[in-house]
Amino acid sequence: MRRTIDISRRLRRAGCDGLPPIGPGRKAPLHGLSFAFMVMLAASGQAGAQEPAGLSPSRADLTAKDKARVLAVTRPATDFSKPEQFEPMPGGAGTSRKDVNRDSFSQSSANITFEEEGTFKLGNGFFTKVWVSSPSSTQASDGLGPLFNARACQSCHLKDGRGHPPEGSADATSMFLRLARAASTEEEKAEVADHRVLNFPDPTYGSQLQDLAVPGLAGEGRMRITYKERKVTLGDGSVVSLRKPSYAVDDLAYGPLDPRTTLSPRVTPQMIGLGLIEQIHPADILARADPDDRDGDGISGKPSIVRDGKTGELTLGRFGWKAQTPSIREQSADAFAGDLGISTPEVPRHWGDCTAAQEACLAMPNGVQERLGPVEAPPPIMDLVTFYSQNLAVPARRDTGKPEVLAGKQVFYDLGCVSCHTPKFVTRRDAPNKAQAFQLIWPYSDFLLHDMGDGLADGQQVGDATGNEWRTPPLWGTGLTQTVNGHTFFLHDGRARNLTEAILWHGGEGQKARDGFAAANSADRDALVKFLESL
């Protein structure tokens, strides 16, 4: 049986025991925690109220000695002549050291037990399970749709990795369009402000465009993308071409979209390290929030506050392109309903995203089996899929000691990329599973919302996120996208065909770093890309 390795022992070896908190004259690598928390409470109408569940402004899970160790080990790097200690292990003790290949994102956390390994494999079975339409002789697998985007979770999350826009084919399985409009009445605005809803779906087509349907029913329509190339001249005279996408829907089967409905393209994100992200203490994310840019660095990250679907309590959103979901289980349940049309205890919609305007869809049979419970994917299935998603390991870093990678890391710091792409966290000591407890991890994200400028804007409000704001995506695994998924498309809609293009699309709060990259010499730009490819 594998043994869970507690990070405290490794930190002691690093000489972190007994280190005092930051003293006078030494600036903490965090923004004002209490200020960020009060801003958040005021925005949610909770000022003066008891601290909401899931929004603790302090790490009660740590002793004073632990806090000193955590502070020491998560300080930003200052020496770029060699790798930092533990840097090759971005997922802590759960990091996968398996050979690099197409399955690099599909390995289990290295520190789960033998029994948990069996649970992981069962979860993988349901993650790859192909669902069929009702009625079916395989009753445990029916319930698909009636409208859907994919027949299996794995169909969207290809090899547990990053999706892509359709390129040279009609394959849009790993990319879809979110459909929503902003609040238009005072009552609707109050619902959003109170975090009761994120936004409002299209009255006919629901919350996302579903291009597939069960026999006897038409899919909703077909996403159309057109690109316009735009040349960008860098400081050394070299030219890069960026492609700007435009989106539309063809062959609408149920009438026109509401004129207020916005289209937000989303490629499916990679699945690695989700359980570790879930166990980052809220205080460590809230501490980095600076919504009014009080420190004047041009970075105004803000937390996404949502309601827990089970308890109704305010909590921190950390999953999804706009940080709209607080937990892996909720994210999974939303995907079952929206992508597959499968009902779960968390989202008991047997007809998925079908709306009242789609009468033929609602007249179709569903896959509920009385002997299995009142939903199509009962609690045991959700337990297994959630466990699987929580324990997909982060692969080990590569080439951390190579001179060009170290040089690129320094460029990453010098350009200010770490202002949003926070390198390190230490997870909660009181995590439910010891495999995720008190682990030093390197996701390179602050999990906050940032205004990324008009160039990347989708115009779609999602809860606290405006049409210009996106959650900082984790960068771990970036360099293995080509190996696992056979492409190098990045950003929320895959418009960037490589890492250079992805950086050059940064605007808003990322404009300064983007301009610094564009002005840099080719050696520094190449080094930065090498560093990102090592993640």
Only one residue has tokens 């779906």, namely: 201
| Cβ-count burial 183-197 (b if 16+ within 10 Å, e if not) | beeeeeeebbeebee
| Ramachandran angles phi, psi of 166, nearest 5° | -65, 125
The C-alpha angle 509, 510, 511, rounded to 5 degrees, equals 95
pLDDT on residue 136: 85
- Give, for all 535 residues of the chain, the pLDDT tens digit: 333 334 344 333 333 333 333 222 323 344 334 444 444 444 444 444 445 657 988 999 999 999 999 999 999 999 999 999 999 999 999 999 999 999 999 999 999 999 999 999 999 999 999 999 999 877 778 999 999 999 999 999 999 999 999 876 556 679 999 999 999 999 999 999 999 999 999 999 999 999 999 999 999 999 999 999 999 999 999 999 999 999 999 999 999 999 999 999 999 999 999 999 999 999 999 999 999 999 899 999 999 999 999 999 999 999 999 999 999 999 999 999 999 999 999 999 999 999 999 999 999 999 998 888 999 999 999 999 999 999 999 999 999 999 999 999 999 999 999 999 999 999 999 999 999 999 999 999 999 999 999 999 999 999 999 999 999 999 999 999 999 999 999 999 999 999 999 999 999 999 999 999 999 999 999 999 999 999 9
Residue type, 173: T
Phi-psi category of residue 474: left, alpha or beta, with phi > 0 → left and psi -120 to 50 → alpha: beta
| Ramachandran angles phi, psi of 81, nearest 5° | -90, -15
The C-alpha angle 385, 389, 395, rounded to 5 degrees, equals 150
Q: Within a domain: residue 408?
A: no
Q: Within a domain: residue 203?
A: yes
CA distance 117 to 294: 47
Residue 507 and residue 455 in contact, taking contact as beta carbons nearer than 8 Å: yes
User: Two tokens at 431?
Assistant: 């995590």
Q: Within a domain: residue 439?
A: no
Q: Within a domain: residue 152?
A: yes
Phi-psi category of residue 463: left, alpha or beta, with phi > 0 → left and psi -120 to 50 → alpha: left
Only one residue has tokens 């609408």, namely: 252
pLDDT on residue 56: 86
Q: Before 395, cis peptide (omega within 30)?
A: no
pLDDT on residue 78: 97
CA distance 401 to 419: 23
Residue 221 and residue 249 in contact, taking contact as beta carbons nearer than 8 Å: yes
CA distance 322 to 459: 12
Provide the number of structural domains found in the chain.
Answer: 1
Over residues 479-514, the pLDDT tens digits come to: 999 999 999 999 999 999 999 999 999 999 999 999
pLDDT on residue 35: 40
DSSP string, 185-236: SHHHHHHHHTTS-S-B-BTTTBTB---EE-TTS----EEEEEEEEEEEE-TT
Q: For residue 374, what are the domain limits?
A: 116-269+327-390
Bridge partners (DSSP) of residue 177 are: 265
Q: Within a domain: residue 264?
A: yes
Residue 318 and residue 55 in contact, taking contact as beta carbons nearer than 8 Å: no
Bridge partners (DSSP) of residue 208 are: 178
Q: Within a domain: residue 433?
A: no
Total residue count of the chain as it appears in this document: 535
Q: Within a domain: residue 176?
A: yes
Q: Name, in order, each residue with C-beta under 8 angstroms of 187's C-beta and a sequence gap of 6 or more.
A: none
Residue 460 and residue 80 in contact, taking contact as beta carbons nearer than 8 Å: no
- Name which of 534, 490, 527 is nearest 242 in CA terms: 490
pLDDT on residue 22: 29
pLDDT on residue 32: 39
Q: Within a domain: residue 468?
A: no
pLDDT on residue 401: 98
